[in-house]
C-alpha cells in the first residue's frame, strides 16, 4: 500500500511515519510538510492509495478543505483525518465530498491505526476485483471499473476511456450500462459517465475532474443533475 502523510509539524510526521513502519502494511510512506508539496508531487505523477491528512493548519483553510481539493485530483485516494482535537471536527469531516476512510486522534493509537489500515486495504482489494471484460479484435481485456472516466458510442463501436488508455469494441451502450455499477449514468444517448469523475454539471455540458467536457442532452439534463446529487449524497 502506498501511503502519504501531510502535516505541518515535522515531529508529528516523523511519529506517524514511525507508527506506520511499525504497522508494516505500507510499502511506501512519503511525508509532506505542506499541501503544496503534496499537490506538486501528485501532479508530477506520484500516486497514493491512502493519505493521512492533519486537520489543524493554523490558517483559514483546514485539512478538510485541502482533502476536498485533493479529491478533485484523485477521487480514488482514501483519506484518514488526523487531529490533536478529535472532539472538534467529528461532524465537519462529513460535510465535503471526500473518499473518507477514517478519523484518528493524536497521540496515535496503534490499535485504531491497524483497523484503519485493514479497512483501506480491504477497499483497495475490492476495487481491484471489479473489472469490466471486453473483446477487442479477438483479445480479451479486463478494465478496472474505477479507472473508467466515460463510455462513448459512435455507430456500432463503443469506446471506453480510462485513466491510461481508450479501448474500442463492438457493443451497445445500453448493454454495457447494465454491466456497470450505479456510479455510471447515461447523460446523453451516446455517453455514459462515471459520476465519481464529475466536477460540474451545466446545461452546456459536463466538466470532468480530468478537464474533459462531455455533452448532456436537454432531455437528460435534469435527470443527470438529480442522479449526480443523489449519488454524491449517498457517498458522503
Q: What is the CATH number of the domain that holds 153?
A: 2.40.50.1020
Residues 23 and 110 in one domain: yes
Given this model, what pLDDT does residue 60 score?
84
Residues 73 and 108 in one domain: yes
Residues 82 and 173 in one domain: no
Residues 151 and 81 in one domain: no
Residues 157 and 98 in one domain: no
Q: CA angle at residue 166 from 160 to 172, to 5 degrees?
A: 25
Given this model, what pLDDT does residue 86 score?
75
Q: Which domain holds residue 15?
A: 2-128
Given this model, what pLDDT does residue 235 score?
64
pLDDT digits (tens, 9 = 90+) for 152-174: 999 889 999 998 899 999 989 99
Q: Which three cell numbers stand for residue 231?
A: 449519488
Residues 26 and 114 in one domain: yes
Q: Over the range 177-211, which residues count as b (16 or more CB within 10 Å of their CB) and which as e?
A: eeebeebbbbbbebbbbbbbbbeebeeebbbbbee
Task: Compute the distance between CA of residue 40 and CA of residue 73 in angstroms, rounded to an integer.
Answer: 11
Cα 47 to chain centroid distance, Å, stands at: 12
Task: Compute the distance between CA of residue 158 and CA of residue 97 in angstroms, rounded to an integer.
Answer: 31
Given this model, what pLDDT does residue 178 score?
86
Q: Which residues of the chain have pLDDT under 50?
A: none
Residues 7 and 115 in one domain: yes
Do residues 113 and 47 make contact, with C-beta atoms less than 8 angstroms apart? no
Rg, C-alpha atoms of the chain: 20
Given this model, what pLDDT does residue 129 score?
74
Residues 14 and 93 in one domain: yes
**DSSP letter (8 states) at residue 187:** E
Domain boundary pick from 106, 128, 150 = 128
Residues 138 and 99 in one domain: no
Which DSSP helix (H) or strand (E) runs through 115?
helix 110-129
**Nearest of 8, 20, 48, 30 to residue 116 by alpha carbon:** 20
Supply the CATH number for residue 69's domain.
3.40.50.2300
Beta strand 78-83 pairing with 100-105: parallel
How many domains does the chain contain in total?
A: 2
pLDDT digits (tens, 9 = 90+) for 107-125: 999 999 999 999 999 988 8
Residues 153 and 122 in one domain: no
Residues 173 and 109 in one domain: no
Domain boundary pick from 107, 128, 149 = 128
Amino acid at each position: 500500500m502506498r501511503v502519504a502523510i501531510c502535516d505541518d509539524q515535522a515531529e508529528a510526521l516523523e511519529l506517524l511515519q514511525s507508527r506506520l513502519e511499525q504497522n508494516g502494511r505500507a510499502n511506501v510512506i512519503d511525508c509532506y510538510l505542506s499541501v503544496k508539496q503534496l499537490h506538486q508531487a501528485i501532479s508530477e505523477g506520484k500516486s497514493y492509495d491512502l493519505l493521512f491528512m492533519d486537520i489543524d493548519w493554523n490558517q483559514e483553510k483546514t485539512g478538510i478543505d485541502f482533502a476536498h481539493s485533493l479529491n478533485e485530483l484523485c477521487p480514488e485516494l482514501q483519506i484518514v483525518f488526523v487531529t490533536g482535537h478529535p472532539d472538534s471536527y467529528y461532524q465537519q469531516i462529513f460535510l465535503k465530498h471526500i473518499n473518507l476512510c477514517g478519523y484518528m486522534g493524536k497521540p496515535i493509537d496503534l490499535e485504531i491505526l491497524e483497523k484503519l489500515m485493514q479497512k483501506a486495504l480491504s477497499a483497495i482489494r475490492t476495487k481491484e476485483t471489479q473489472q469490466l471484460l471486453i473483446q477487442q479484435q479477438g483479445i480479451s481485456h479486463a478494465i478496472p471499473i474505477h479507472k473508467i472516466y466515460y463510455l462513448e458510442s459512435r455507430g456500432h463501436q463503443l469506446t471506453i476511456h480510462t485513466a491510461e488508455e481508450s479501448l474500442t469494441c463492438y457493443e451497445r451502450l445500453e448493454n454495457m450500462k447494465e454491466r456497470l455499477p450505479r456510479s455510471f449514468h447515461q447523460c446523453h444517448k451516446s455517453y455514459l459517465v462515471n459520476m465519481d469523475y464529475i466536477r460540474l454539471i451545466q446545461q452546456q455540458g459536463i466538466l470532468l475532474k480530468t478537464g474533459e467536457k462531455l455533452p448532456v442532452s436537454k432531455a437528460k439534463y435534469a435527470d443527470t443533475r438529480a442522479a449526480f446529487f443523489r449519488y454524491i449524497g449517498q457517498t458522503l
